[in-house]
Amino acid sequence: NRHVISMKDFSREEIDHVLDTAEKLEPVARGEERSRLLDGKIVSLLFFEPSTRTRLSFEAATQRLGGQALNLGSVEASSVMKGENLADTIRVISKYADLIVLRHPLDGSARMAAEFASVPVINGGDGSVHHPTQTFLDLYTIRRESHLEGLKIAMAGDLKYGRTVHSLCHALSLYGAEMTFVSPPELRMPPEIVRDLKKQKIRVRETDSLEEIIGDVEVLYMTRVQRERFPDPEEYEKVKNRLKVTGDLLKAADPNLKILHPLPRVNEIAPEVDSTPHACYFEQAFYGVPIRMALLALAMGVIE
Ligand code: CP
């Protein structure tokens, strides 16, 4: 089975192949061309955490390729509520579907699911460490809207709990990016990730000020403070609104600066930014469709 669990399982060549495949499928994702690549295939969407983009873009990707999505719906309506464990759930869903997309709150659950599944498993985000399909679409967006090789990027916001930035900085290290991490001191990038990057000779800088770095970067990747992952709600209240991109801040930006955000946003990007040429986050959400089409087709082996 070809699972998609962590970006660490992919070489740069394999990542480039996924991005190239997504590019070929983009007209299908836009509804401009038709495809029956997943004709007769069933994709099960097993989401144990809320999601709008990941769940619906996987569903759109499946349907655009002529397949069918089998949605668990809410966890509350499933037998998980009777105490069924993840291993048994995965064993059973493997009998109904040709591939499983899993989102789960616990670190390592996608890897564990892959051990019990008899069909490919794609990690739709587990715990606070991995969200590989988001990283693929982030890389695709950066390649389309800017460039990947030697990119000067700042990642800002909740770098402690944000799984998207953890997956992304590993992948970007394969392309020799220069990385600046912007966060309140309480939400810094985990030290082991910074250590790993430095070991790979990646230039890393850390600060708590967007003003200090806004003129020096080509991509600004904003993230939401992950309220649901804070053990103490008071700690969330202290840090929730510390970093914000506004029209004023962008006066000092490079004219070609691109702003990405995995979404959902809360307050970290002001609405006036949406109409500037810097804003890429809604197009980025669209790119989730061709990327997930490519990952579904490659994982099920219907294309090479
Ligand atoms: N970016 C992202 O994973 O969004 P959802 O939580 O809505 O899927």
Is 134 within any annotated ligand binding site?
A: yes
Catalytic hit among 103, 160, 261, 292? 103
Is 131 within any annotated ligand binding site?
A: yes
Q: For residue 56, report the distance from its CA to the centre of ligand 1, in Å.
A: 9
- Beta strands 68-71 and 42-47 are parallel
CATH number of the structural domain spanning residue 155 = 3.40.50.1370
| Whether residue 250 sits in one domain with residue 198 | yes
In order of 10, 88, 295, 302, the CA distances from 69 in angstroms are 26, 20, 15, 17
Q: What CA–CA distance (Å, rounded) separates 291 from 293?
A: 5
Q: Is 91 assigned a catalytic role?
A: no
Inform me whether the pLDDT recorded for 219 exceeds 80.
Answer: yes
Enumerate residues lining ligand 1, CB below 6 A: 51-54, 125, 134, 262-264
| Whether residue 109 sits in one domain with residue 13 | yes
Query: Which residue bears the tokens 């997504």?
Result: 22
| Whether residue 37 sits in one domain with residue 13 | yes
* Mean pLDDT for the chain overall: 95
8-state DSSP, 78: S
> pLDDT, tens digit, for every residue of 224-246?
998 887 888 888 888 888 899 99
**Rounded CA Rg of the chain:** 19
Burial of 76 (0-12, 13-18, 19+ CB in 10 A): exposed
> pLDDT, tens digit, for every residue of 53-108?
999 999 999 999 999 999 987 888 888 889 899 999 999 999 999 999 999 999 99
Q: Is 103 assigned a catalytic role?
A: yes
> What is the CA 116 to chain-centroid distance, rounded?
24
| Whether residue 270 sits in one domain with residue 189 | yes
| Whether residue 277 sits in one domain with residue 136 | yes
| Whether residue 81 sits in one domain with residue 98 | yes
| Whether residue 118 sits in one domain with residue 137 | no
Catalytic hit among 82, 95, 199, 251? 82
| Whether residue 181 sits in one domain with residue 70 | no
> pLDDT, tens digit, for every residue of 97-146?
999 999 999 999 999 999 999 999 999 999 888 999 999 999 999 999 99
8-state DSSP, 242: S
Q: What CA–CA distance (Å, rounded) separates 86 from 256?
A: 46
Cβ(131)–Cβ(165) under 8 Å? no
Q: Which two tokens stand for residue 223?
A: 């993230």
Q: What CA–CA distance (Å, rounded) separates 37 from 34?
A: 9
Query: What atom in ligand 1 is closest to the CA of residue 55?
Result: 8
Residue 60 placed within a domain = yes
Range of the domain at 22: 7-129+288-299
| Whether residue 75 sits in one domain with residue 22 | yes
| Whether residue 150 sits in one domain with residue 125 | no
Number of domains in the chain: 2
Count Cα atoms within 13 angstroms, Cβ side, for 62.
23
Question: Could you tell me how many residues make up the chain?
Answer: 304
> What is the CA 108 to chain-centroid distance, rounded?
16
Cβ(182)–Cβ(208) under 8 Å? yes
- ipTM value for the complex: 0.98
Of 49, 53, 284, the residue with max ligand 1 atoms within 8 A of its CB, to mutate for a pocket test, comes to 53
More confident residue, 77 or 7: 7
Q: What is the pLDDT of residue 229?
A: 77
Of the candidates 133, 142, 154, the residue with the CA atom closest to the CA atom of residue 213: 154
Q: Is 62 assigned a catalytic role?
A: no
Is 238 within any annotated ligand binding site?
A: no
Residue 247 placed within a domain = yes
CA dihedral 64, 68, 70, 73 (to 10 degrees): 40
Q: What is the pLDDT of residue 1?
A: 64
Is 54 within any annotated ligand binding site?
A: yes
